[in-house]
Structure 1
Amino acid sequence: MDRAQIKAMPKVELHCHLDGSLSPEFMSIQLGRKVDKRELSVSMDCESLNEYLEKFDLPIQVLSTKDAVRDGVVDVMRQAATENVRYIEIRYDPICLSEAGKYMSPEDAVQASIEGLHIGEEKYGIRGNIILCAMRHFDLDKNLSTLALAKKYLGKGVCALDLAGAEALYPTAGFEELFATARKINVPFVIHAGEAAGPESVRAALDFGASRIGHGIAVSGQSDLKRELKEKQIALEMCPTSNFQTKAVKNKYPLREFLDAGLAVTINTDNRTVSDTTLTKDLELATRLATLSTSELITLEKTAAKASFADAATKQSILEELDEFSEQM
């Protein structure tokens, strides 16, 4: 499948960070000056995770008001819609945005993002949901407050909780109480695991009951983890461009290994602007890395639809669109 065909294919994005995906155009409007892409993006030659993370400073400053959060969500949905993404899950940490400027509460941020979701859906014909991120460097009380917001707005625009942040410094195993509480109050969750730490991080995420694993690179070569992921059909949210830029992967990308093992794999952008990518570009890269056939590309998108937190009708609609697309190929 060439780039034009991949762009035309109905797509689903499950792992997209709001603060890492704001377009230069949006940032220019917010800051009242022209923002060069180089201020916001890294190249494939990115030298370190620190260089990558520095690019989030400006977007987080911008996302400090309700209007900016609302319009930022619309901006990301607009970008996704231009490449025929039919459904997207956008994630962010409401406490971080609240603390960036002290202009809004975390709940204000959540309400604004849901408002943006509705505007984006109406304006661009794309469906979406919000995932709220608990942060590894926050204490339990802070993360429980984010979980409480996820519970309050679950099914009203919010679909799940996530755990993000410095995986190597704050091991996944230390968040047992947070996720035990999430299970108790029936809030589904995904966990960044196996990106900047080893297989033990993925093991903890599975033990906690994660619905999906963010990245999961460290599953490579781990037969027990692969077996369990396959049996439970817990999807991996792989992000090829980002994984190379942050040095989560240095050599061989494990996509083909995972597909051959029968794992539920999805391809995502992670941070559209910081990584200077689109879902089309990441699927194109995935095709080169794993020599994907047309049917495998379509299967990746079907897997993403099934693994999403979309409602049953949205899932079914996307699966039917993919069947129609497949027949035309």
Structure 2
Amino acid sequence: MTARARYAALPKAHLHLHLEAAMREDTLRQWCAEDGIAVPPLVHYPDFTQFLDAYGLLIGLLHTPERVARLLDEVMADAAAQGVVALEYASIPEKSAAFDTAVEALEFILPTAADAGRRHGVWNGAIVSIDRGAGPDHAREAARLAARFADQGVVAVGLVADERGNPVAAAAEAFRIAREAGLGVVPHAGELAGPEEVRAALDLGVDRIQHGVQAARDPAVLELLAERGTCLDVCPTSNVVLGVAPSLEEHPLPALLDAGVRCSLGADDPLLFGADVVDEYVLAEERMGITPARLTKVARTSIEASFAPAEVKRAALARLA
């Protein structure tokens, strides 16, 4: 059995995936041809701004409900093929090109995703992302939107975009709104900014941290992460492509695990970075030297740290055992 086959068969949760960038490349090329636009750059980005430009093009391609439905079906089918039993996908509903309002977007996306998940055997939940550069009013509105759909498939709020100059602490009020609605809080922190942003996120009592790899630069933050058991949703290939880590061989994931930090593996934006969640497990073994036994523990952590229902977790953990 190849390494890819082994890790595709490993039950896991995928907790760090941005919906639009989970598009298949063939689908991207088809829609670009239909719309008469150039295919955006894939995998190579001179800076974070050009990466965001490519992401914006993907959002623009999803300008009909039919395309959104196809995307969701393909994302769930791909997740099932990758051994994913629980998928948490993130998006900013108000940026949807197919719907007039964020409410309309969620009213379509949530049941459509649930139906696709049932067809392919993948539980899924939505993370409503807050654009950290859009200001406090947007943050509060995004949290209220997420709260409105808390019993309809939204499981958490996230915080995305460039951390530099946009600290996680500025979203404290939005996080409070989300928590009062029973939602999780899973911000990006410690990706482009330093370990102080990871500590700030921990001070806000977040449930998980997306990325968080800069914590490896501060032993005190590592100790705090391990003590609290907060899971980092780590995306090594993304980190290398965007220059957060110089190479996979020098990525801090092994150091995080050695320090007792709980981690899940995610693909972040598989279309734009050229690696899916199974690739991340394979690369962690082959390029970072992380043992299969330790990666099985990472898969266990991903399931335990997810917002999936208890029965989904029990069944997945039983299979993993």
Give distance in 2, aligned partners of 1:184 and 1:33.
44
Give distance in 2, aligned partners of 1:94 and 1:273.
20
Paired residue type of 2:238: S
> Match for 1:223 among 213, 219, 238?
219
Summarize deviations over 1:161-200 as a string: whole Å, max 9, x none. Answer: 0011111131222222222333344332101000010112
Summarize deviations over 1:7-59 as a string: whole Å, max 9, x none. Answer: 2222220000012111123335545639999635215xx43323322321321
Paired residue type of 2:49: N
Contact 1:47-1:245 at 8 Å conserved across structures: no
Paired residue type of 1:315: K
Say yes or no: does 1:245 pair with 2:244: no
Give the 5 Å matches for 1:1-329: 2-28=3-29, 30-31=31-32, 33=34, 39=40, 41-43=42-44, 46-97=45-96, 100=97, 103-250=99-246, 252-323=250-321
Contact 2:32-2:38 at 8 Å conserved across structures: no
Provide structure 1 residue ranges, at least 5 long, that are not aligned to the other structure. 324-329
Contact 1:15-1:237 at 8 Å conserved across structures: yes
Report the CA distance shift for 1:289/1:210 in structure 2 as closer, same or farther (over 3 A).
farther
Contact 2:28-2:39 at 8 Å conserved across structures: no
- 2:89 aligns to what SS in structure 1? strand
Give distance in 2, aligned partners of 1:104 and 1:64.
10
- 1:39 aligns to what SS in structure 2? coil
Contact 2:156-2:178 at 8 Å conserved across structures: no
- Equivalent residue for 1:327? none
- 2:20 aligns to what SS in structure 1? coil
CA drift at 1:247: 0.8
Paired residue type of 1:19: E
Give distance in 2, aligned partners of 1:274 and 1:65.
22
- 1:248 aligns to what SS in structure 2? coil
Provide structure 2 residue ranges, at least 5 long, that are not aligned to the other structure. none
Paired residue type of 1:278: D
Contact 1:49-1:245 at 8 Å conserved across structures: no
- 1:210 aligns to what SS in structure 2? coil
CA drift at 1:104: 2.1
Paired residue type of 1:319: L
Summarize deviations over 1:249-294 as a string: whole Å, max 9, x none. Answer: 1252111111111111111000011111111111111113431222
Give distance in 2, aligned partners of 1:49 and 1:194.
15
Give the TM-score normalised by structure 2.
0.92
Give the TM-score normalised by structure 1.
0.90
- Equivalent residue for 1:326? none
Paired residue type of 1:64: H
Summarize deviations over 1:88-111 as a string: whole Å, max 9, x none. Answer: 1110001122xx46x421011112
CA drift at 1:158: 0.8
Q: Compute the RMSD of aligned alpha carbons.
A: 2.2
Contact 1:90-1:129 at 8 Å conserved across structures: yes
Contact 1:11-1:301 at 8 Å conserved across structures: yes
- 2:150 aligns to what SS in structure 1? coil
* Worse-matched range after superposition: 46-55 or 159-168: 46-55
